[in-house]
Chains A and B, each alone.
Chain A
Amino acid sequence: SYELTQPPSVSVSPGQTASITCSGDKLGDKYACWYQQKPGQSPVLVIYQDKKRPSGIPERFSGSNSGNTATLSISGAQAMDEADYYCQAWDSSTVVFGGGTTLTVL
């Protein structure tokens, strides 16, 4: 079965750029999307189709996808960006989520 691998945690200083990776076999041949989830809340879509932002998502969120890795970048990270982030893709009629990355801004 298809798997997406994320680092368990990433730390970033306020105002710097955070990069969260998601690895999967030939992931660049598929569309990836990203969700942000804060404690006790439902996930929020922040990137879809590799690099598109839904309405209302700040421009500091961006995405890319090539080869075996999709990347979510958060430029000028803020304390409010502290959350769990999940990547997601579609393979062989199955929806796959990554295990999640906890972003700490400190």
Chain B
Amino acid sequence: QVHLQQSGPGLLKPSQTLSLTCAISGDSVSSNRAAWNWIRQSPSRGLEWLGRTYYRSKWYNDYAVSVKSRISINPDTSKNQFSLQLKSVTPEDTGVYYCARDPYSMIWYEDWGQGTLVTVSS
């Protein structure tokens, strides 16, 4: 049974950096099969995949075009977790952010974190 536990602040001002962490239990961030993803949801944009990190003898990242210039997803093997950083946020980045596990890197998300509501407001 895999469990993902999210943490991080929920209120930001425009131009700040969003930082969230997803702690993994029941699997390893260094798994050679799984991929570790961030997905967000808002009324205006629906569900939107942001990016992923995964390990295949070395670390790889893929990012959505819409956020590619501002996003960074990084693993932390010492704590078995991964993080999301999104720079220069605007009110358009307001939404619920989820971490999610893709167990075989086949692009489906079998396990999700509890979600973090992030509000960007001055």
A interface, CB within 8 angstroms of B: 31, 33, 35, 42-45, 48-49, 54, 86, 88-90, 93-95, 97-100
Total residue contacts A-B, CB cutoff 8 A: 48
CA distance A93 to B49 in the complex (A): 11
B68 CB to nearest A CB, Å: 11
**Pairwise interchain contact B114-A42, C-beta atoms closer than 8 A:** yes
**Pairwise interchain contact A43-B110, C-beta atoms closer than 8 A:** no
A residues less than 8 Å from B109 (CB atoms) = 35, 43, 45, 88
**Pairwise interchain contact B47-A93, C-beta atoms closer than 8 A:** no
B residues less than 8 Å from A89 (CB atoms) = 107
**Pairwise interchain contact B115-A42, C-beta atoms closer than 8 A:** yes
**Pairwise interchain contact B112-A88, C-beta atoms closer than 8 A:** no
**Pairwise interchain contact A97-B47, C-beta atoms closer than 8 A:** yes
CA distance A6 to B92 in the complex (A): 24
Q: A93-B62, A94-B64 are in contact. Are A31 and B98 (CB under 8 A)?
A: no
**Pairwise interchain contact B107-A43, C-beta atoms closer than 8 A:** no
- Checking A42, A86, A90, A100 against B107 with a beta-carbon cut-off of 8 angstroms, the contacting residue is A90
A residues less than 8 Å from B106 (CB atoms) = 31, 48-49
- Checking A42, A90, A93, A99 against B112 with a beta-carbon cut-off of 8 angstroms, the contacting residue is A42
A-B contact pairs, 16 of them (CB 8 A): A31-B107, A33-B107, A42-B98, A42-B112, A43-B112, A48-B106, A54-B110, A88-B47, A89-B107, A94-B49, A94-B65, A95-B49, A97-B46, A97-B47, A97-B48, A100-B46
- Checking A48, A93, A99 against B108 with a beta-carbon cut-off of 8 angstroms, the contacting residue is A48
A residues less than 8 Å from B48 (CB atoms) = 97
Verify if B113 is at the interface (C-beta below 8 Å from A).
yes
B residues less than 8 Å from A86 (CB atoms) = 46-47
CA distance A101 to B109 in the complex (A): 19
Known: A31-B107, A97-B49. 6 other contacts (CB 8 A): A35-B109, A42-B113, A88-B108, A94-B64, A94-B65, A97-B48
A26 CB to nearest B CB, Å: 16
With most chain A CB atoms within 10 A of its CB, the pick from B48, B49, B107, B115 is B107
